[in-house]
Amino acid sequence: MAERITFARTEEQTMLATTVRDFLEATVDMDTVREASLTENAFNREAWGGLVEMGLVGLHIPEQYGGAGFSFIETAIVFEELGRRVVPVPLLSSIMASAAILAAGSESQKEMLVPPIASGESTATLAVFEHAHDLDACATVANRVENGWSLTGTKRYVTDAPNADQFVVVASTDEGTRLFVVDASTAGVTIAPTPSLDATRPLGELGLEDVHVDSDACLSESDTTAAIRKALDVGVVALAQEQAGGAQRCLEMSVEYAKSRYQFGRAIGSFQAVKHMCADMLVAAEHAKSVATHAARTIDDADESAISVPLAKSVCSDAYIKAAGDTIQIHGGIGFTWEHDAHLYFKRAKSTALLLGSVNSYRDRLADAIGI
């Protein structure tokens, strides 16, 4: 790397973090998150409305496509805050969808499709996967018909599918893999929620049965592998930031509890078995912050992101799972109850590690990138 790596936030970035944190703390009651986790289409509309109003949905999207034109670092800050409260909003889906369009679309497609996503007017998501293990499998086909295309197939594990207005769909054609923008209301489209381990991030199945779309719905005339990769990488980096925020919040909950819960006449945090778990959690949370921030800063640097993205996935996934698991342990019985928040983080942690591809698949990518 020629550039010196930096992590420090500007004053504006610190202010953004504070504003978002204050807003979410005021708006998102953890009880509502718990309730939402009993539904199949969790969506905190009040929080989403606020994010939309503050212009945070299109924060890093260039101004000519209706965004605020900031760097990805600002968006990453928003994700860190969302992760701290496990907020059920479709921001991840929205930025992956817009990233795909920005990477694959023509100028006129970008101008037409991105602004409604950036403004929050339309909720979009990315429909890529079909198979639990083979992430490249694509049995969904698109055939040329008069004035457009006809799509048939089933997409699974689609984030926020039950709440989406629009889908960016990966399909195979005679000419290669292509991306199509499909409205939820198009004839032949069915959307079924998938019961999810982490119900605060709803997943769903997108059924396509001879769905007709215009020629203009096809985003690119050439190969779209790189565009799909980019959209997923944007998602991985956003999730890494969320994982870092979640791990930090777990640490705070654990430390707070370890100071206030007394057994054997002492605060349990004075027992080394508990104290040392907290110390290890601190290390994990700090590491997660470092790699997530680094990934957010280098997402548009092709060489470095080949390393920083899988690095973030590997480190943040393990860190969050460990932090969330130990949080339950430190809380004892109460940590295992539905009433406590710990399970929301624990489920989010495990499910996030699985989303957008397994940790192992990213370790393989990392191995390629570092030359082993």
* Residue 301: CB minimum distance to another protein, A: 15
CB 207 within 8 Å of CB 194:
no
CB-wise, 23 or 271, nearer to another protein?
271
Kind and range of the H or E run holding 318? helix 302-331
* Residue 332: CB minimum distance to another protein, A: 16
* Residue 314: CB minimum distance to another protein, A: 4
**What's the rounded Cα separation, in Å, for the pair 344 and 201?**
11
CB 198 within 8 Å of CB 189:
no
CB-wise, 213 or 285, nearer to another protein?
285
CB-wise, 68 or 282, nearer to another protein?
282
CB-wise, 350 or 363, nearer to another protein?
363
CB-wise, 6 or 185, nearer to another protein?
6
* Residue 286: CB minimum distance to another protein, A: 5
Q: How many CB atoms lie within 10 A of CB 188?
A: 15
* Residue 268: CB minimum distance to another protein, A: 9
Rg of the chain on CA atoms, in Å: 21
Site residues for another protein per CB under 8 A: 4-8, 251, 255, 258-259, 266-267, 269-270, 272, 274-276, 278-280, 282-283, 286-291, 293-294, 307, 310-311, 314-315, 360, 363-364, 366-367, 370-372
* Residue 145: CB minimum distance to another protein, A: 43
* Residue 275: CB minimum distance to another protein, A: 4
Three-state helix/strand/coil letters over 272-305 = HHHHHHHHHHHHHHHHHHHHHHHHHHHCCCHHHH
CB-wise, 108 or 272, nearer to another protein?
272
**What's the rounded Cα separation, in Å, for the pair 197 and 368?**
31
CB 155 within 8 Å of CB 190:
no
CB-wise, 184 or 258, nearer to another protein?
258
Q: Annotate 11-75 with DSSP letters as a single string.
A: HHHHHHHHHHHHHHHHH--HHHHHHHTTSSS---HHHHHHHHHTT-TTTTS-GGGTS----HHHH
**What's the rounded Cα separation, in Å, for the pair 44 and 35?**
11
